[in-house]
Structure 1
Amino acid sequence: MAPPPAALLLLLPPALAALLAGAAAATRAPPRSIAVVGAGIGGSAVAYFLQQHFGPQVQLDVYEAANVGGRLATVTVNKQQYESGGASIHSLNLHMQDFVKILGLKHRREVAGKSAIFSGEHFVLEETDWYLLNLFRLWWHYGISFLRLQMWVEEVMEKFMRIYKYQAYGYAFSSLEELLRSLGGEAFVNMTQRSVAESLLEVGVTQRFVDDVIAAVLRSSYGQSVLVPAFAGAMSLAGAQGSTWAVEGGNKLVCSGLLKLTKANVIPARVTGVSLHSSEGRALYQVHYEDDEGQGSGFYDMVVLTAPLHPSKSNFTFQNFEPPITDFPGAFQPSVTSVVHGYLNSSYFGFPDPKLFPFASILTTDTPDLFFNAMDNICPVNISSAFRRKQPQEAAVWRVLSQQPLDKQQLKTLFRSYYSVQVTEWQAYPHYDSAKSLPPIVLHDNLFYLSSVEWVASSMEMVAVAAKNVALLAYNRWYQDLEKIDQKDLMHKVKTEL
């Protein structure tokens, strides 16, 4: 069925014109093949969502140079696996919740442990076993700052949660700015351009609370200061406030499970670039890669890039595009995870008797002399019903987060002695600079950049939200359903559709 001429559609009643246009779009064949670059949570989630929308007949090739899971990774200590990458998932992360349910995975059993914030000389805030005492201590030290923080975060999260309803109705956004405007108007866009410290001080949070508590949370999550943009800060603080969980067996099982469910063809190769060609009047993309056998390439109707396109991360090239697709500004924040099996030096934290050390998690303030951002006594990814957390005087497995690898003297400062140290160096998060503009989602007709979302905020769920958006955007653009892209006043539209 040939599509009716545009002039004819103008003469028809609107309902009939829409019906004919929809029928014409429905006759278009789906993409024959789609390439996804990267098999972390972004790549595996977008492969799943693309198959949901385009159907199982589409060939899905997922390129991954390292391990499936990306920054969701584990290390082995004494035949037990421990998370070395993304460790926790918020209870409001609905896409991650759905993935676990679809894949038949389970939530890992929680093992309670207290937290404290360390200044380099003493603990500025200590958690107790008593909820009311914790509240009293917060009030005593910081007044009602913690309540103002909670109200601010809840307001942001309430608006952010609209994205799930929009996506359930098939709406997508062609830019990060449009996505943010649909959720919280210009206020959300502005939150990517001003710091979290500035935003919190504006709503009445004290400077002391920002310096002690907010700084500690952001050092633990992003390895950066209170100058990170307000939106990224709000997402991080929401994770610190609410209940969190993890996947039994390791969070990376979500990635491998989604790829297995979609029957995606995982290609162990490093993608070096994409070049543009044309076929039958439409764009065709050639993906160039290197593997153990040398160089190769493949042709695709659609490509989704989930690896960061920044000079510090890759030497990715784009060929034959006009206008040219150039490198993206910005850099990534070095982040080092050291998984140490050893005896904590509790004296460094003011507890000469290790038996009296009460904390399982230590966050730190932004103090120049502190060489680590956070550390926690971690549990294995498989926890039996008989599992108990190690006593403070026993050898335990600690995860230490820092910006640089720990030297021997620093390890000796934190641990009386240790059996093993396993170091993973990540460039896990953007180095947030509120002066930078947000990267694009659409690089060409059917060429999409999923990882641009990390410049708004970086977490498993933010990437999963972006994956759903890219899949919907790709589907709506492919079938020219423009009424589902960048629509204004979506809350009203969704209510009327109900």
Structure 2
Amino acid sequence: MSGWWCSCILTLTCLSAVVESNSAQVDSAPPSKIAIVGAGIGGTATAHFLRQHFGPEVRIDVYEKATVGGRLATVTVNHQEYESGGSIIHSLNLHMQDFVKQLGLKYRKSVAGKTAVFNGEEFILEETDWYLLDLFRLWWRYGFSFIRLQMWVEEVMEKFMRIYKYQAHGYAFSSVEELLQSLGGSAFINMTRRSVSESLLELGVSQRFIDEVVAGVMRVNYGQSVSIPAFVGAVSLAGAQANLWAVEGGNKLVCSGLLNAAKANLIKAKVTTISPQAAGDAFQYRLSYSPVDEKGTEEGAAAAAELYDIVVVATPLQVNGTGLSFEGFDPPLPEIGGSYHHTVASIVHGYLNCSYFGFADPKLFPFASVLTTDTPGLFFNSAASICPVNISAAFRRKQPQEAAVWKVFSQQPLDKKELKKLFKSYYSVQATDWQAYPQYGTAPGLPPLLLHDGLYYLNGVEWAASAMEMSAMAAKNIALLAYHRWNRQLEMIDQKDLVHKIKTEL
């Protein structure tokens, strides 16, 4: 049961338009210039994989208007850094593991801590120091629901893990639907169209377990309810298990490391327009941009433009204020629907108000993290005592009566009254309003990966599931897709029955 409440961070790939490949290429010569818009984990991993496939001669430009790392970010409290964005990586996240190994980074030491579920009035489920006691309590309260859920999640993850073998053999997919179909057949497609609560009820998981445990995991990981689609729900539940890790020094180091390893050019600029430009029998893309300073403010310098053979958009197009438009396409590109969910991450340095949770003596409060049920009027999704991104051998978790650094997730910024409920007193509060992941259910379907020939949309994958590993997997798929389409190796795209095909290849 340990670790349910840690943020899961996997991510899938959304695609739907398929266009015949006719990019600007001469005698299979590689592209001369590739642009990537966005330097988060998806954009930097795309640069890394594109370099692997297209070789050293291709120029790769990565445009970023803010900070390298995107939704992987840290804040400083008392001269130490803490994760304010994506913080937890699962042991089965093979791309992230490989990045850490290649870049010479280190795994951050894990510091154990117990978790409980709070319903606004009392703790309804508490983790103890005894695993067998925890299992007995789960069985006593929920019957076999926990076992049924675990078997379901393991079955989904076992099928999803096929993606690593497919990618190792060089296969790519032109749409999220094709990818999901190849991994789990129509069952995976259907899981993006029905809720996790609906799917679990059919499996015999009790409504009580869904309302008290599954809801808490969905709230901490995605800030949403059990009406979230079943596929992203399974990904979230997979990340609520043990065997979680993070990068020493901060997960954002993976992004800067990949950018350097790819020998990509980082251009601090806001991309404003992408438009096709005739280039003989084919075309290139004209990318217009405005330079920005280190704070992301436009410098007032003259707008500029560059031509590229391939462009990868690695930033959410649904987020308001992206300022990126597509002009000159005939017919116009389809509009990308849906919206992103606001989640506020408040990093609070202070003394937890244990009496709010029913503990008059803070020394008796045993929990490092608190999940919450979907209770009307409950103003926060979760609260957890967090460790700095650099942990010394002598580090110990703060006792409840001591001032500690807490990460509180909420739908809205915490006001003074709410902070006073959660904390007896505090030294500082740093709030980040993330448009962290899709608001599931607001899009009519899965967005395309292929916007136009040679123009790709990496973040379409998030509408199947959102997490660091999903972005890394999407990046590998985009790089393979771009490479095969450029070289007209269409037999490597959207192959059917890959499970059988790869077995025969071996």
TM over 0.5: yes
1:431 aligns with 2:439: yes
Query: Which secondary structure state, in structure 2, belongs to the residue aligned with residue 418 of structure 1?
Result: strand
Question: Distance in 1 between the 2:463 and 2:35 partners?
Answer: 23
Query: Aligned ranges for residues 21-40 of structure 1 at < 5 Å?
Result: 27-40=27-40
Query: Which secondary structure state, in structure 2, belongs to the residue aligned with residue 335 of structure 1?
Result: strand
Equivalence for 2:295: none
Question: Distance in 2 between the 1:31 and 1:242 partners?
Answer: 43
Does the 8 Å contact 1:336/1:405 carry over to 2? yes
The partner residue of 1:465 within 450, 466, 473 is: 473
Does the 8 Å contact 1:87/1:251 carry over to 2? yes
Question: Distance in 2 between the 1:316 and 1:469 partners?
Answer: 23
Give the aligned residue type for 1:167: Q
Question: Distance in 2 between the 1:70 and 1:311 partners?
Answer: 13
Does the 8 Å contact 2:319/2:435 carry over to 1? no
Give the aligned residue type for 2:162: R
Query: Aligned ranges for residues 52-91 of structure 1 at < 5 Å?
Result: 52-91=52-91
Equivalence for 2:381: 373
Does the 8 Å contact 2:339/2:442 carry over to 1? no
1:295 aligns with 2:303: yes
Once the two structures are TM-superposed, the CA of residue 294 in structure 1 deviates from its matched residue by 3.6
CA offset digits 1:467-492 (Å, max 9, x no partner): 00000000000001011000100001
1:496 aligns with 2:504: yes
Equivalence for 2:10: none
Equivalence for 1:357: 365
Give the aligned residue type for 1:322: D
Question: Distance in 2 between the 1:283 and 1:321 partners?
Answer: 12
Question: Distance in 1 between the 2:493 and 2:442 partners?
Answer: 27
1:306 aligns with 2:314: yes
Calculate the TM-score normalised by the size of structure 2: 0.92
Give identity over the alignment, percent.
Answer: 68
Question: Distance in 2 between the 1:342 and 1:311 partners?
Answer: 33
Q: Compared with structure 1, are the counterparts of its residues 462 and 313 closer, same or farther at alpha carbon in structure 2 (3 Å cutoff)? A: farther
Give the aligned residue type for 2:87: A
Equivalence for 1:231: 231
Give the aligned residue type for 1:455: W
Equivalence for 2:102: 102
CA offset digits 1:234-263 (Å, max 9, x no partner): 000000024100000000000000001111
Question: Distance in 2 between the 1:378 and 1:435 partners?
Answer: 34
Question: Distance in 1 between the 2:80 and 2:474 partners?
Answer: 33
Query: Which secondary structure state, in structure 2, belongs to the residue aligned with residue 339 of structure 1?
Result: strand
1:48 aligns with 2:35: no
Deviant stretches of 4+, over 4 Å? none
Question: Distance in 2 between the 1:255 and 1:409 partners?
Answer: 38
Does the 8 Å contact 2:343/2:433 carry over to 1? yes
Does the 8 Å contact 1:37/1:63 carry over to 2? yes
Question: Distance in 2 between the 1:185 and 1:379 partners?
Answer: 41
Query: Which secondary structure state, in structure 1, belongs to the residue aligned with residue 484 of structure 2?
Result: helix
Query: Aligned ranges for residues 200-349 of structure 1 at < 5 Å?
Result: 200-291=200-291, 292=299, 293-310=301-318, 312-349=320-357
Does the 8 Å contact 1:194/1:434 carry over to 2? no
Q: Compared with structure 1, are the counterparts of its residues 386 and 453 closer, same or farther at alpha carbon in structure 2 (3 Å cutoff)? A: same
Question: Distance in 2 between the 1:98 and 1:282 partners?
Answer: 37
Equivalence for 2:131: 131
Once the two structures are TM-superposed, the CA of residue 314 in structure 1 deviates from its matched residue by 2.1
Give the aligned residue type for 1:71: R
Question: Distance in 2 between the 1:119 and 1:283 partners?
Answer: 58
Structure 2 portions without partners, runs of 5+: 1-24, 292-298
Question: Distance in 2 between the 1:434 and 1:66 partners?
Answer: 26
Give the aligned residue type for 2:66: A
Once the two structures are TM-superposed, the CA of residue 434 in structure 1 deviates from its matched residue by 7.3
Question: Distance in 1 between the 2:370 and 2:288 partners?
Answer: 45
The partner residue of 1:474 within 465, 482, 485 is: 482
Once the two structures are TM-superposed, the CA of residue 312 in structure 1 deviates from its matched residue by 2.5
Structure 1 portions without partners, runs of 5+: 1-24
CA offset digits 1:88-110 (Å, max 9, x no partner): 00000000000000001010000
